[in-house]
Amino acid sequence: MRRILGLFFLSSAIGLVACEFGDQTAGPVAPPPPPAVGVAPVVEREITPQMEFVGRVEAIDAVDLVARVNGFLTQRTFEEGATVKAGDLLFRIEREPFEANVVARRADVERTTATLTNARLQRERLEPLIQRGGATQAQLDAAVAAEQEARAARDAAQAALQRAEIELGYTEIRAPFDGRIGRVAFAKGAVVGPTSGPLARLVRIDPVFVNIPVNDRTMLAVRRMRENAEFLPYIRLADNSMLEAPGRFEFFDPEVDQTTDTVRVRASFDNASEVLLPGQFVTVVAKAAQPEMAMVVPQIAVQQDQAGRLVLVVTPENQVELARVELGARVETDWVVTSGLQLGQQVIVEGVQKARPGMLVQPTPVSPASPISPVSSSDSED
């Protein structure tokens, strides 16, 4: 028994000595390597500055077609929703009563003209008789007055004839301009007149206006952009397709609308395809006519906190630094940088969550992402 216990204590002592000797020879534990991050350089590229706005399409010309004389509606020459040309006959009101009135007024003109001719002849006969004493001055005065009265009657008859001819013309309602006509409010045979309401509505579809309400801050940005470049408006539709042809800025309201605190900007667009309809909401993209060079960083490198936007920069010593930046427009997958960075600096685009200012990292260059999103303005991101 004593021998067994002795062997047990001896083996335990040898084990303790071996463990202590082994700990002394292992050395200190190595620290973990710096985290790996993906970086991309700050580069300069050719961009087309632009801003986006929401606008509403408005017809350049729109008119309610109203009957200007009372009568039965005898004819309609178009289909509802059809496109018509300026001067096309649209409605006809019964003409017979107005034609008869023209004939009567023309007869009045002939009658008063004959009366005027007779009065003039009477005056001309009396004038030489005055010199020979064959007529009195009173008779001549009466003849002159009769001629003047006949002339006034003739003029009144001519005016009545002109009015009758105008009213006859009102029995035909023609298109004042090219456009598309809407729903008809009265059927054939209905009695219409000035107080019966619009017969239909005619709207010019090509070209159209787009009204853009712009707030004060955006208006200042637009003015700064216009000082440096000429901008053209383009239309993006609801399916993200773009109209190929640009429009033209026509009007900048000189006053701020106090109900909305916006300034109205108006652009015109050709609309031969009739893709744009009055009342429709569209996205207006204001693009610079000429591209320019600008410094950009990938969008995924940009972060934001309470103090503003920032990026994490990797120095040549592989140390992380925080850089506050000011950004311009968003161009595809990049941001335009107006201040805070320099060309060639490496910004972290992958593994941002593992990096902190002041720590060391293992940077690996990554290829920038291909453009996947359309251009928009910085204001739309705020």
- Quick one: 308 and 257 in the same domain? no
Closest CA to 224 of 43, 375, 51, 46: 51
pLDDT at 156: 96
Residue 40 belongs to a domain = yes
Distance (Å, whole) CA 192 – CA 197: 8
From residue 131, how far is each of 35, 120, 146, 241 by CA, in Å? 130, 18, 21, 94
Residue 329 belongs to a domain = yes
- Quick one: 179 and 284 in the same domain? no
- Quick one: 100 and 161 in the same domain? yes
Distance (Å, whole) CA 267 – CA 235: 10
pLDDT at 377: 41
- Quick one: 215 and 188 in the same domain? no
Find the CATH number of the domain harbouring 227. 2.40.30.170
pLDDT at 381: 42
Distance (Å, whole) CA 109 – CA 117: 12
Which residues span the domain enclosing 245? 51-60+206-288
- Quick one: 176 and 227 in the same domain? no
Which of 178, 202, 226 terminates a domain? The answer is: 202
Residues of the chain with pLDDT under 50: 1, 4-10, 13-14, 16-23, 25, 370-382
pLDDT at 28: 66
Residue 28 belongs to a domain = no
Q: What is the pTM for the complete model shown?
A: 0.60
Three-state secondary structure call for residue 304: strand
Residue 5 belongs to a domain = no
- Quick one: 132 and 233 in the same domain? no
Find the CATH number of the domain harbouring 324. 2.40.420.20
- Quick one: 198 and 91 in the same domain? yes
pLDDT at 17: 43
pLDDT at 224: 61
End-to-end Cα separation, the chain, in angstroms: 87
Residue 135 belongs to a domain = yes
pLDDT at 22: 47
Residue 110 belongs to a domain = yes
Peptide bond into 207 cis (omega under 30): yes
pLDDT at 11: 52
Find the CATH number of the domain harbouring 84. 2.40.50.100
Which of 147, 178, 202 terminates a domain? The answer is: 202
Phi, psi of 212 (to 5 degrees): -120, 110
Which of 139, 170, 202 terminates a domain? The answer is: 202
pLDDT at 42: 92
pLDDT at 26: 52
Domain count, the chain: 3
- Quick one: 192 and 220 in the same domain? no
Which residue in this structure is represented by tokens 């109203």? 66
- Quick one: 92 and 116 in the same domain? yes
- Quick one: 56 and 67 in the same domain? no
Residue 15 belongs to a domain = no
- Quick one: 102 and 169 in the same domain? yes
